Amino acid sequence: MHIIESGNVAAATGVKLSRAQVIAAYPITPQTPLTEKLSEFVESGEFEAEYIPVESEHSAMGVCIAASTAGARAFTATSANGLLYMSEQLHWAVGARLPLVMCVANRGIGAPWTVWNDQQDSMSQRDAGWIQLYANDHQQIIDTVIKAFLLAQTVSIPVMVCYDGYLLSHTYMPFDQPDQGDVDSFLPTFSPENFLNPEDPGNFNPVTLPDVRPGVDGKMEPGYIEIRHNLHHDLRSSIEVYGEIDSEYEEKFGRGGNPFIEKYKCEDAEFVAVCIGSLSYQLRDVIDIMRDSGTRVGVMGVQMYRPFPDEAIADALSGKKCVIVFEKALSYGNQGPLYGDIKSALYCSDDKPPIHNYILGLGGREIRTQHLLDALTDSCGSPETFGDTPRWIGLKL
């Protein structure tokens, strides 16, 4: 069924279709309408779930962690400082291997306060161990949320579904809402092997030693480092798993096929612009303009940022004349996070392209098509004349 709704409502609808059982969230702009919609779904009886209006984001994730440990499918959503307030809990959820799904309506971080879009919030949590998926439009938001629940419970790792605040969260677009029956056959009930069970008691997440230690049955059990190694291993494997889940989804719903990166006019391109989120669709207009004037340029949106699909990215970018990375986030004092990751993905390539880094749109600064065109034209005109220092677009100094 096609409907026209906001990105937040697309996310809420995906959560409802995925039959989340426990939802806890705290309002924060621009995620708030998602929370409001879920509370409305639950209160109207349209959606059978426990909606818990907690007193903070830290508690929202606390509720989800405990509910998931007890065997329920749990969901939360947040933005910016809310995400940072639950940072400790993000790490906890990963270490406890809980299949949570969380939407992040990307917003800049204070101080100073900003409510507008950039991606510094989720980027700053990239090392927590969560799987990070980014959606570029409303259709991708709802589809990604549903896929995220299956991915999370397959690999027992929580998944963050990120989309640009306001640009996607508050704009209205048509999208197809999958049928409940189809989603039910795609996403099986959550029935974990380990959960809080009085009939089979266990102590979850206790202090774990630096070394291996025998259990009560004499069997040697892992230490902290083995458990963390296993997490990393499963996180890397989840790249392949997500590819399979995406294919399954495509087969059932007719949408997908680009689980890791979404390419536009990249095949014959000499130059490729790379970015995350809705910016990649805005860049398509710029690509078209430049193609009209004879520059063979394409754009690639990164949809899965953690685990980093480095093989797919290296395949797509090696041999190009120049790769231009546009970012709404910065590893302060260094360079854009995506830029650094792409550089390292290409390190082993025999045919490494020069890579440029542009920082733009922080705190919601308007990204003008002309600015993007100027930057791309500049980079394509002189691919060799760039250092590691990111260039800023649209600064008014």
Partner 1 sequence: MKTEDFCKMISRGKPGPGDGGNTGSWRVLRPVINLELCIPVKTNKRACFNCWLYCPDSVVSKTIPPVINFDYCKGCGICAEECPVNAISMVDEATPIDEEK
Partner 2 sequence: MWFPGNFRRHPPLDWAETLKKNIMEKKTTILNLTEEEFVHPGNRACSGCGLSIIYRIGLKALGRNTILVVPPSCLTVLQGLYPVASTQLPCVNVTFASTGAAATGVRGAMRALKKENVNVVAWAGDGGTADIGIQALSGACERGEDIIYICYDNEAYMNTGVQRSGTTPQGVLTTTTPIKGKLQEKKDVPAIIAAHGIGYVATASAAYPLDFYDKVKKATTLSGPRYIHVHTPCPPGWSFDSRYTIKVGKLAVKSGLFDLYEIENGEFKLTGESKRLVGKDKPPVNDYFNSQGRFKSLDEEMVKKVQAQVDAKWAGYDA
Chain positions contacting partner 2, by CB under 8 A: 21-22, 24, 49-50, 52-56, 58-72, 74, 88-89, 92, 196-198, 200-209, 213-216, 221
61-84 burial: b if 16+ Cβ within 10 Å, else e? bbbbbbbbbeebbbbbbbbbbbbb
Rounded to the nearest 10 degrees, what angle do helices 7-17 and 138-155 cross at? 40
| CB 240 to partner 1: min, Å | 6
Q: Which does 245 bind (CB under 5 to 8 A by kind): partner 2, partner 1, none?
A: partner 1
Comparing CA positions, the residue from 38, 90, 82, 39 lying closest to residue 62 is: 90
Rounded to the nearest 10 degrees, what angle do helices 87-95 and 224-253 cross at? 90
How far the first Cα of the chain sits from its last, in Å, is 48
Q: Which does 196 bind (CB under 5 to 8 A by kind): partner 1, partner 2, none?
A: partner 2
Residue 309 burial (CB < 10 Å; 0-12/13-18/19+)? Answer: buried
CA 110, 113, 119, 125 torsion-angle sign: positive
Q: Which does 198 bind (CB under 5 to 8 A by kind): partner 1, partner 2, none?
A: partner 2
User: Helices marked H in 96-137 — which ranges?
Assistant: 120-123
> Which x/- pattern, by CB under 8 A, does the window 181-200 give for partner 1?
-------------x------
| CB 258 to partner 2: min, Å | 34
Q: Which stretch binds partner 1 (CB under 8 A): 45-53, 76-84, 201-209, 322-330?
A: 201-209
Among 155, 273, 297, 302, binds partner 1 (CB under 8 A): 155
| CB 11 to partner 1: min, Å | 25
| CB 98 to partner 1: min, Å | 9
| β-strands 261-264, 297-302 pairing | antiparallel
CA distances 346 to 134, 163, 319, 320, 383, Å, are 22, 26, 10, 11, 16
The answer to whether 217 contacts partner 1 (rule: CB under 8 A) is yes
Q: Which does 80 bind (CB under 5 to 8 A by kind): partner 2, partner 1, none?
A: none
Task: For the beta carbon of residue 27, count every other beta carbon within 10 angstroms.
Answer: 17
Task: Identify the three-state secondary structure at position 104.
Answer: strand
Q: Which does 29 bind (CB under 5 to 8 A by kind): partner 2, partner 1, none?
A: none
Q: Which does 6 bind (CB under 5 to 8 A by kind): partner 2, partner 1, none?
A: none
Task: Identify which of residues 54 and 373 has a Cβ nearer to partner 2 in the complex.
Answer: 54
Task: Identify which of residues 40 and 234 has a Cβ nearer to partner 1 in the complex.
Answer: 234
Number of alpha carbons in the 13 Å side-chain half-sphere of residue 365? 13
Binding site for partner 1 (CB under 8 A): 95-97, 154-157, 194, 201-206, 208, 215-217, 222, 224, 226-227, 230-231, 234, 237, 240-241, 244-245, 248
